[in-house]
Structure 1
Amino acid sequence: MTCRTLDDFYHIDASTLEKQYKDVLSGYRTWEELSHADDWLVFPDNIGPNLAIDETSLSNGNLYTIVTNRDRHCREMCLVAIVAGVKSETVIAALRHIPEDLLDRVEEVTLALSDSMRKIVRSCFRKASRVIDRFHIQKLACDAVQEMRIKLRWDAIQEANEEMEEAKLNGELYLPVRYENGDSKKELLARSRYLLFKSS
């Protein structure tokens, strides 16, 4: 419920309520983390044996590095750290505010295929094994298959052009070889982009 909603129901000044809540009721001005909250926040109590680290854009294209406890499944007490930016030095400096004995309890960290992420994990979670996020592996595999499909398609187009030219020189009508579904080789390779990744 927003302050504007309270304004409608109880006829109070929403702007004043928002200001009073932020300045007095919430304890925001006396919050211990206020001095660095724009740059980083760490929650040592949320750390567990299985963590994940990734970067995300929360607002206005600003990138943040987020460390989460995978065992919490994105529920309460999941966030271990959030750091403005993706520079490894900045993230490492923020994570150093977590006691070292807690960092050493981490057994596994899931991360993206990024040198900066690898450096962060190697520096802060020295005893943890590193696991590459499966979505990045899937993307690499999909990109490799796409690259092969495109190369085969260009080869099929070249082959069809040569066959057409040969048929034209011989004064024959060019009829491409058709598969059971009625597609020629180049048509099949053009339309198979998404078929290659469908589950059976």
Structure 2
Amino acid sequence: MVSTKASDCHTIGGCYGVRGKKLQRQYKDYLSDFKEWKHKPHAKQWLIFPENITSKLSIDETALSKGELYKIITNKKARGKKGSIVGIGAKVEPIIEQLLKIPASKRGQVKEITLDMANSMKTIARKCFPKAIQVTDRFHVQKLTLEALQDIRIKHR
């Protein structure tokens, strides 16, 4: 039976008696096309994939490395699979600058954008996708509601 489970370099290296870090470096430096990747010069600041834009997008923030927060714009239709990422970046201004280079007609296709209540997310949505309806994601609404309910409970003790 063929396994479809993903394995990291440390696991694969362990099977062949090679240190995981060395296998990872060998792959990056020699086997992959990383050195010729067209996005490499600006990948630490931003990545934009306009071909992944659909009518429903979402924006969220996540810490990927060293506690640095990245804003990630995703295509909801792709459900986290290939073609999910529309844009990613550490700072709001470069993301907005690059998204605005996408033709307005393409950005105008976005009808709905789901985001949390952070002002940076609202700024990206408003400037880059002005025709889209902004929907606050239910996780943050539920969190705020539960916090407010807890405050009321504490006051009534």
- Specify the TM-score bucket, using the shorter chain as the normaliser: 0.7 to 0.9
Q: Which residue, 58, 72, 77 being the options, matches 1:71?
A: 77
Q: Which residue of 2 aligns with 1:122?
A: 126
Q: What is the CA–CA distance in structure 2 between the aligned matches of 1:12 and 1:142, rounded to whole Å?
A: 49
After TM superposition, the score normalised by the length of structure 2 is: 0.81
**1:152-163 aligned within 5 A:** 152-153=156-157
Which structure: larger Rg?
A: 1
RMSD, aligned CA: 2.5
Closer/same/farther in 2, CA of residues 152 and 103 from structure 1, 3 Å limit:
same
**One-letter identity of the residue aligned with 1:146:** Q
Of the three residues 103, 113, 123, the one matched with 2:107 is: 103
Q: Give the drift of 1:120.
A: 1.0
Alignment of 1:130-141 (within 5 A): 130-141=134-145
Does the CA-based 8 Å contact 1:44-1:99 persist in structure 2? no
Instruction: Give yes or no for contact 1:95–1:124 (8 Å, CA) kept in 2.
Output: yes
Gaps of 5+ in 1: 154-200
2:52–2:84: 8 Å Cα contact kept in structure 1? yes
Name the structure where strand makes up a greater proportion of residues: 2
Unaligned 5+ residue runs, structure 2? 1-6
Report the secondary structure of 2:40's partner residue. coil
1:89-143 CA deviation, whole Å, 9 max, x = no partner? Answer: 2331232243332211101000111222111111000111111111111122112
| Percent sequence identity over aligned pairs | 42
Taking structure 1 as reference, are residues 27 and 150 closer, same or farther at Cα in structure 2, changes over 3 Å only? same
- Whole-angstrom distance in 2 between the partners of 1:140 and 1:15: 42
* Amino acid across the alignment from 1:28: F
Query: Do the aligned residues in 1 keep the contact of 2:46 with 2:94 (CA within 8 Å)?
Result: no
Q: Does 1:44 align with 2:70?
A: no
Pairwise CA distance, 1:15: 7.5
| Distance (whole Å) between structure 2 residues aligned to residue 19 and residue 99 of structure 1 | 38
Between the two proteins, the alignment pairs up a number of residues equal to 150
2:117 match: secondary structure:
coil
Q: TM-score, normalised by structure 1?
A: 0.65
